[in-house]
Amino acid sequence: MTIPNIRIPCRQLFIDGEWRESVKKNRLPVINPATEEIIGDIPAATAEDVDIAVKAARSALRRDDWGNTTGAQRAKYLRAIAAKVQEKRHELATLETIDNGKPWFEAASDIDDVVACFEYYADLAEALDSKKKTEVKLHLDSFKTHVYREPLGVVGLITPWNYPLLMTTWKVAPALAAGCAAVLKPSEIASITSLELGEICREVGLPPGALNIITGLGHEAGSPLVSHPDVDKIAFTGSGPTGVNIMTAAAQLVKPVSLELGGKSPIVVFDDIHDLDIAVEWALFGCFWTNGQICSATSRLILQETIASKFLDRLLEWTKNIKISDPLEEDCKLGPVISRGQYEKVMKFISTAKNEGATILYGGERPQHLKKGYYIQPTIITDVDTSMEIWKEEVFGPVLCVKTFKTEEEAIELANDTKYGLGAAILSKDLERCERFTKAFQSGIVWVNCSQPCFWQPPWGGKKRSGFGRELGEWSLENYLNIKQVTQYASPDEPWAFYKSPSKL
């Protein structure tokens, strides 16, 4: 595998189809998490820039070249974006890796999903034309009613740093398919590929203002976007505390929000599993994929005690075999976490677990062969009590904690012993048992005999403190549509005759 040497593009804010310098001309450094070196910078938008971007989006909705398009016309833009992303696959994957730290082959896989996601929503945009006006049957012949599906308006999209371009696509593609105009605010920690999406939109001729991209700090750019009176909806993926702040701010304007927040997902493993190694690999993949920085990570391993010792022994052997290296190296399976702040946060979780009486079975330190970069060994923690922080809180790093159980009832209780409700997994040969757990799990996503696969066709989202609303599939398109009831009096020449006519008194 040959990975090209890529230079970080120096971009401005993407507003109204053009690159524009931020009003205050401030910029933020971009740090490669594998080397800790500054490799570029991005614009630091403020409220003034947000206002300009929102006005550009509103203007786009008023113009025929975007606001009056059919789904089929929008689908052409989405497919053009997909084709251009595919053309730049190697470049975008490399930019993602040096900005985010995930292994290159994972980043390349993300880019493939970006392409597929844009193409999928192009299909849904076309299909929307036939569903735009839908008749509703009434019990009265004197009225006719139909439902009209129309774009919700200007939407604010705030995305995280763990899947920079893919999470952007999860929101941008359905928003554009629905005919909305969007203002995207990616995480300031990983914005490079989201800005490159702006260049792609410019190259394919997406109408000005349909998509605007502002980068910057949350309190300087994100907060003004959430509270802007001319933004009709906010879609956010990120941390729970930030989600609470967004809900609070949006509530002041009774503004709808959809939130995909954190998780502390369980993976329950029974002693009748098909194959020990297969189960071990799913347990590792479910937690350590994306360097452990995934909201749906099945980071609580719940083992039936009859196989716990054998399972953990094999788990250790597999974990020790994981290649930790510069994420641009071939066959790297674990890169650095995103930033120094995240590195320190994860290490503190590990230290606290040890202080609370848990056992660090493996890992918990910087790999000895890597002197620079925010690397953390894949970490397995046992002797965990349900009162411990490591059991209750989202770590967002390569840390797996383990508990054992005897009965199904105990396993279900442990699995649901969390304030979160994003994902849950069960590994068992007994499909009736799997069905029981599928119904019992308090989560929005369930994996049976696997963990973490994600596709763009089914819905994605959680319950409890993991948020509400669904992304992906047809469900995501609904996030960006206004449902308007239109009722028509079927006999306009006939009086309604509720009141007495003055002329007949």
At 373 the pLDDT is: 98
122, 212, 234, 369 from 207: Cα distances, Å = 16, 11, 22, 50
CA–CA separation, 412 and 435 (whole Å): 12
Which residue from 333, 332, 360 is spatially nearest to 346, judged by alpha carbons? Answer: 360
| Site of tokens 């993949």 | 285
At 501 the pLDDT is: 86
| Burial track 113-135 (b if 16+ CB lie within 10 A, e otherwise) | bbbbbbbbbbebbbebeeeeeee
Which residue from 246, 306, 299 is spatially nearest to 272, judged by alpha carbons? Answer: 306
What is the Cα 242 distance to its own chain's centre? 14
Q: What is the token pair recorded at 505?
A: 């008194």
At 503 the pLDDT is: 77
What is the Cα 47 distance to its own chain's centre? 24
At 7 the pLDDT is: 79
Which residue from 316, 263, 317 is spatially nearest to 460, judged by alpha carbons? Answer: 263
Q: Are 59 and 16 in contact (CB under 8 A)?
A: yes
Q: What is the token pair recorded at 68?
A: 């009056």
At 504 the pLDDT is: 61
112, 241, 325 from 345: Cα distances, Å = 31, 15, 21
What's the per-residue H, E or C state across 10-57?
A: CCCEEECCEEECCCCCCEEEEEECCCCEEEEEEECCCHHHHHHHHHHH
CA–CA separation, 154 and 226 (whole Å): 12
The CA radius of gyration of the chain, in Å to the nearest whole number, is 25
What's the per-residue H, E or C state across 120-172?
A: HHHHHHHHHHHHCEEEECCCCCCEEEEEEEEECCEEEEECCCCCHHHHHHHHH
CA–CA separation, 289 and 281 (whole Å): 11
- The Cβ of residue 483 has, within 10 Å, a number of other Cβ atoms equal to 11
pTM of structure: 0.96
Q: Are 375 and 325 in contact (CB under 8 A)?
A: no
Give catalytic residue positions: 260
Length of the chain: 505
Q: Are 224 and 434 in contact (CB under 8 A)?
A: no
CA–CA separation, 184 and 168 (whole Å): 8
Residue ranges with strand state E in 216-319 = 233-237, 257-260, 266-269, 300-304
From first to last of its 505 residues, the chain has per-residue pLDDT tens of 555 567 789 999 999 999 999 999 999 999 999 999 999 999 999 999 999 999 999 999 999 999 999 999 999 999 999 999 999 999 999 999 999 999 999 999 999 999 999 999 999 999 999 999 999 999 999 999 999 999 999 999 999 999 999 999 999 999 999 999 999 999 999 999 999 999 999 999 999 999 999 999 999 999 999 999 999 999 999 999 999 999 999 999 999 999 999 999 999 999 999 899 999 999 999 999 999 999 999 999 999 999 999 999 999 999 999 999 999 999 999 999 999 999 999 999 999 999 999 999 999 999 999 999 999 999 999 999 999 999 999 999 999 999 999 999 999 999 999 999 999 999 999 999 999 999 999 999 999 999 999 999 999 999 999 999 999 999 999 999 999 999 999 999 899 989 988 876 5
At 505 the pLDDT is: 56
Strand duo 13-15 + 18-20: pairing: antiparallel
Q: Are 290 and 104 in contact (CB under 8 A)?
A: no
